A and B are shown apart, each in its own frame.
Chain A
Amino acid sequence: MKIGVISDIHSNSVALDAVLSQPDIQSADTIYCAGDLVGYYSRPNEVVERICKERIPSVMGNHDNAVVESTPSSFSLHAKRAVDWNRRSLTETNLGFLDALPLRIREIVSNRDLLVVHGSPKNPLSEYIFKEDVDELFLDFYFDVPPDVIVMGHTHQPFVKSVRNTLVVNPGSVGQPRDRDPRASYGIIDLDSLNCRIHRVEYDIEKIAEDTSRELPKALSDRLYEGR
């Protein structure tokens, strides 16, 4: 059984549409999203509606939380502006959808114990977990019984790592990659062999950049071209 994993879409529906049009993700049995559907870019309603339409189980990210709760002072200037604007632009229905997102998903899929969070297992909204943080200590610290698969987002940096019998995946960011590769990032996990492949897909950056710059700081658009 194969599952698609996506994260950090950040209101970039152009990138999301490109990812969801890929044959390998279309043929996946199901798709999970590790949070941050909104923030930063200009199409929050389109993203939420596509996620609903495709019935993609999602967790809440820190930007989703900021939009439904309040804008944190710790956010950067541009992130704050974008969160404020996203909040004002979202329909009540879509805000309600974001508000109802769970902080974590843990379920059995094809006999595999799967955990999806945005940040870390103990701080699902805000903690950053990078590839180098993932080791046996990581598993021991966060779990009594580690799951078979852990999917996290938040860092916008994709990685795949196996520790003992656990596969740890960050699919990278759909809407705002930060690993100097501007292409949208997603992952396909093979639950049978417990492997994951990260895929990158080009999309029309100019389309979302222009759309965003009409309302939001241009710097948010500029960074998309550089993948940072």
Chain B
Amino acid sequence: MMFEEPTYLIQFGYSGQTLVRRAMEDDYADGVILSPSDYEYGDTISLARDVNRNDGVVLFDPQYYIPRTERPASNSYPYFKQSGGDDFETVVVTNNKNRRELCEQIWEVQNEIDVDAYIAPARFLDTFSDTKLTQWELLTKTFVEVVEDKDPGAKIFASLPVAGASINDDEQRSKLLDIVTKVDLTGFYVSVEYPRYRQNPIFGFEEVKAYLDLLKNLRYNWYDVVLGHSDQIAHLGFGLGINAFGSGHYKNTRAFDTDRWIPQDSGGGSAGVYWYYSEPLMNEMQVEQDMQALYSSNSFSLDKLRLKNPTSPFARELFVREPEDPEWTYKNDSWDHYIWSCHQIAKEYRGLTLEERITRTQENLRNAAEVYSEIEETIGPRENIQSEIYEDWTAAFDSTLSDRDINVIGRVMP
């Protein structure tokens, strides 16, 4: 087991080194998941050293499932320079010699960064066709072979970037699980991509259930699981006995979103964050539309929100004064607060048995629904977020866990 207790890993790019260092020094993060598109190679190594010095976990997602990126940072990594950008072709994955060379380069980079566990490159699985699954399997197995040759006994996570639409189909999900669970490794770094309208947060009983079922089955098979780019859904993950999630962007509510790496995408994942939550949003699973609506309403009370989270070291700085503009006044501290809040999610599940975790998740879901009701009473139904979302999450979570499931997962827990 890599993660013995609930853990939060920062996934933060775009000049966020200072935030990461501050969070590690002040102990409100457990580690990082770095990536080639965030920082140049030298900066990544330097940041990893600092995280290690603070006893933090360092993982590096090689992001080879996002080919053809034109982000300049990626090209400072040898494997992207030689096999990425405009020169990338998926044939790299299918040719034995090229694949081995690519995996060796990716291993070397992660070794130089001094990661605590390796993450394999992966074929992006937007469908589970035989071809794509075979390419995923070949790439993952080759990487495992390389690590076993170079660093026997090292921990290895397979990257599992999948499309939400594909895991919704029970048969397809089983097909995926049959293939991926054949690989002998420490665990999976899971990222599920949903259409943007479904991301903030994910909604729909079937969608949530399918996602949880995937996670549950990986856990069943004794794999460690890291939820990439997740925050609110981490509550459900911890309730399933999963012990690690990564997030660093308030919009990463359940997705890793390859589209945002398309160079023409003006958003580029770097849009400013002007809305924020002073209450522990993840604990109550609020969404930004609610907050924006609250702010816009006549009955809005800044203090009401601020006072709900008296323990955050950053909450006071978030809203220095009653904002007069139609948007929240942006404060740099909002990022620190976000990271701190994510860490609180992990902390609140520590030391709990599986049954206690399940109860905690269910309580948090009930709280979220109640807060939503309060908001609805104050400002009316929300246009973008339906109240059913909370019922969907609760129903999906409850339907995922039978008594047998609890017994099996309970045995897997450290």
Q: Which A residues fall within an 8 A CB radius of B?
A: 71, 73, 76-77, 80-81, 84-85, 88, 213-215, 217-219
Known pairs A213-B126, A218-B127, A219-B126; A81 contacts B163 (CB<8 A):
no
9 residue pairs A–B, Cβ–Cβ below 8 Å: A73-B86, A77-B261, A80-B86, A84-B90, A88-B89, A214-B132, A215-B132, A217-B126, A219-B126
Partner of B91, one of A73, A88, A219: A88
Quick check: A213 and B129 within 8 Å, CB to CB? yes
Point out the residues of chain A lying under 8 angstroms from B262, CB to CB: 76-77
Partner of B89, one of A77, A84, A218, A219: A84
Quote the shortest CB–CB distance from A141 to chain B (angstroms): 29
Q: Which of B249-264 contact A (CB under 8 A)?
A: 258, 261-262, 264
Q: Roughly how many angstroms separate A214 CA and B163 CA in the complex, as a whole number? A: 14
Most buried by A among B67, B127, B166: B127
Most buried by B among A77, A88, A213, A215: A77
Quick check: B90 and A218 within 8 Å, CB to CB? no
Point out the residues of chain B lying under 8 angstroms from A73, CB to CB: 70, 86
- Any chain A CB within 8 A of the CB of B131? yes
A-B CB contacts (within 8 Å), total count: 39
Quote the shortest CB–CB distance from A63 to chain B (angstroms): 16
Point out the residues of chain A lying under 8 angstroms from B130, CB to CB: 214
Closest 6 pairs between A and B when the two form their complex, measured CB to CB:
A214-B129, A218-B126, A213-B127, A84-B89, A218-B127, A73-B86
Quick check: B90 and A81 within 8 Å, CB to CB? yes
Q: Roughly how many angstroms separate A84 CA and B126 CA in the complex, as a whole number? A: 18
Quick check: B166 and A218 within 8 Å, CB to CB? yes
- Any chain A CB within 8 A of the CB of B347? no
Chain A residue nearest in CB terms to B129: A214
- Any chain A CB within 8 A of the CB of B366? no
Quote the shortest CB–CB distance from A99 to chain B (angstroms): 19
Quick check: A214 and B131 within 8 Å, CB to CB? yes
Quote the shortest CB–CB distance from A42 to chain B (angstroms): 11
Q: Roughly how many angstroms separate A191 CA and B166 CA in the complex, as a whole number? A: 49
Quick check: B129 and A80 within 8 Å, CB to CB? no
Chain A residue nearest in CB terms to B130: A214
B residues contacting the other copy or chain, number (CB 8 A): 20
Q: A214-B127, A219-B126 are in contact. List 6 more A-B contacts (CB 8 A).
A: A81-B68, A84-B91, A88-B89, A214-B129, A217-B126, A218-B166
Point out the residues of chain B lying under 8 angstroms from A71, CB to CB: 86
Point out the residues of chain B lying under 8 angstroms from A77, CB to CB: 67-68, 258, 261-262
Partner of B90, one of A76, A85, A213, A214: A85
- A interface footprint on B109-132 (CB within 8 Å = 1, 0 otherwise): 000000000000000001101111
- Any chain A CB within 8 A of the CB of B165? yes
Q: Roughly how many angstroms separate A76 CA and B130 CA in the complex, as a whole number? A: 25
Quote the shortest CB–CB distance from B241 to chain A (angstroms): 31
Chain B residue nearest in CB terms to A74: B264
Q: Which of B230-275 contact A (CB under 8 A)?
A: 258, 261-262, 264
Point out the residues of chain B lying under 8 angstroms from A219, CB to CB: 126
Q: Roughly how many angstroms separate A84 CA and B258 CA in the complex, as a whole number? A: 19
Q: Roughly how many angstroms separate A215 CA and B128 CA in the complex, as a whole number? A: 10
Quote the shortest CB–CB distance from A217 to chain B (angstroms): 6
Chain B residue nearest in CB terms to A84: B89
Quote the shortest CB–CB distance from A152 to chain B (angstroms): 24
Most buried by A among B68, B86, B165: B68
Point out the residues of chain A lying under 8 angstroms from B131, CB to CB: 214-215
Point out the residues of chain A lying under 8 angstroms from B126, CB to CB: 213, 217-219
Chain A residue nearest in CB terms to B195: A222
Point out the residues of chain A lying under 8 angstroms from B132, CB to CB: 214-215
Point out the residues of chain A lying under 8 angstroms from B163, CB to CB: 218
Q: Which of B30-58 contact A (CB under 8 A)?
A: none
Point out the residues of chain B lying under 8 angstroms from A81, CB to CB: 67-68, 90
Quick check: B165 and A218 within 8 Å, CB to CB? yes
Quote the shortest CB–CB distance from B191 to chain A (angstroms): 16
Q: Roughly how many angstroms separate A71 CA and B166 CA in the complex, as a whole number? A: 29
Point out the residues of chain B lying under 8 angstroms from A80, CB to CB: 68, 86
Q: Which of B131-171 contact A (CB under 8 A)?
A: 131-132, 163, 165-166
Quick check: A215 and B129 within 8 Å, CB to CB? yes
Point out the residues of chain B lying under 8 angstroms from A214, CB to CB: 127, 129-132
Q: Roughly how many angstroms separate A85 CA and B90 CA in the complex, as a whole number? A: 8
Chain A residue nearest in CB terms to B87: A71
Point out the residues of chain A lying under 8 angstroms from B67, CB to CB: 77, 81
Q: Which of B62-99 contact A (CB under 8 A)?
A: 67-68, 70, 86, 89-91
